[in-house]
Amino acid sequence: MTELGLIDAWRGYLTAADPGLHLADASHVLQIFIGKTDQDAPRMVIRSSVKGAKPSLSSVVLVERYQDKGGKWNLSLTLQDTKFTEVFLRLADDVHVRTSRAPNETAALDRVSLVIDEWHRLLKPRPSGLLTMEELRGLVGEVWLLLSEFSASRPIDAAVEGWLGPMGLPQDFWYPDSGYHEAKAIGPSTTNVRISSEAQLDASPLELLVLRVANTSEDTAGAVNLLTLASRVATALSQIAVAQDVFNSRLSQLGVNLAESFYEDTWFVVTQLESYAVTEDFPAIRASQLDAALGRVTYQLRLASLGDFLQRSMVV
């Protein structure tokens, strides 16, 4: 059954006069039934001879697992709020599609749990006060630089001391021996970088560091999250008997609470690092050259146009 076939068929069952369940795909390794309850609530039941896990999903989806009189195990998902019907249909179809090639019931039920867990994570409300995904990508990039770049040529405590972006300064890093460094973490296919003020590239000497930081899963080689990076910083500081107060203070300035599951569950991989020399000829809007009547400038730089200023490029 195609994606639209299952969804369209289910829509038809929902508008029919009589309630009930209908087998969605006779060739599937699992028996997947779709339809509605006596109260017209959309319902999906996955039936198997093997007992599967009972996943968590959402407060608007009633999840039940039970064994019927014939000895079959049934995993039932019933939508409690019909305004989410279209999302629920697509969730169920994703379960159907991604389990369709499973070699047996056990493998298929494992995939059911995986798919539902992914939807649970997707639909789980993000607690207020958390960083956005792009803000987290930027923070992960900066802490990665602390560990991989700046602590390579100075003690880790000095590297942390020079991390000034969280304190509200225009540039992310400053060190007496190398000057200013501005970091931009972008997705793998992004072609521009956003400059957030007329002061950000108005410093000398200044290096612009662009990191490709992709969202990924925990089992990807080289995958990191904010917690793993913070733990590495803490370990490096403890090895030289330095407290991590300064590092923790930087995170606090950003409003980061490492106990939030969002930071534990969100993984990235750094794939590339490029360094650009921000010289006088570098294309930029600078506060020192801007009319005093203008301010709060934001703009974007096209990376493809910065080749003349590229100092190094490395695959991580």
* Dist. CA 261–CA 213, nearest whole Å: 20
Closest by CA position to 41, among listed 5, 4, 3, 13: 13
Q: How high is the pLDDT of residue 2?
A: 44
Closest by CA position to 226, among listed 306, 159, 133, 315: 133
pLDDT tens sequence across 272-315: 999 999 999 999 999 989 887 887 899 999 999 999 999 999 99
Q: What is the mean pLDDT of the chain?
A: 92
pLDDT tens sequence across 141-179: 999 999 999 999 999 999 999 999 998 889 999 999 999
pTM for the model stands at 0.65
Q: 251 near 174, Cβ under 8 Å?
A: no
H-helix segments, the chain = 3-15, 85-99, 105-123, 133-145, 156-161, 226-239, 245-253, 261-265
Mean pLDDT, range 58-68, rounded to an integer: 91
Single-letter residue type at 16: A
Calculated CA dihedral for residues 31, 35, 39, 40, nearest 10 degrees: 160
Q: How high is the pLDDT of residue 125?
A: 63
Q: How high is the pLDDT of residue 77?
A: 96
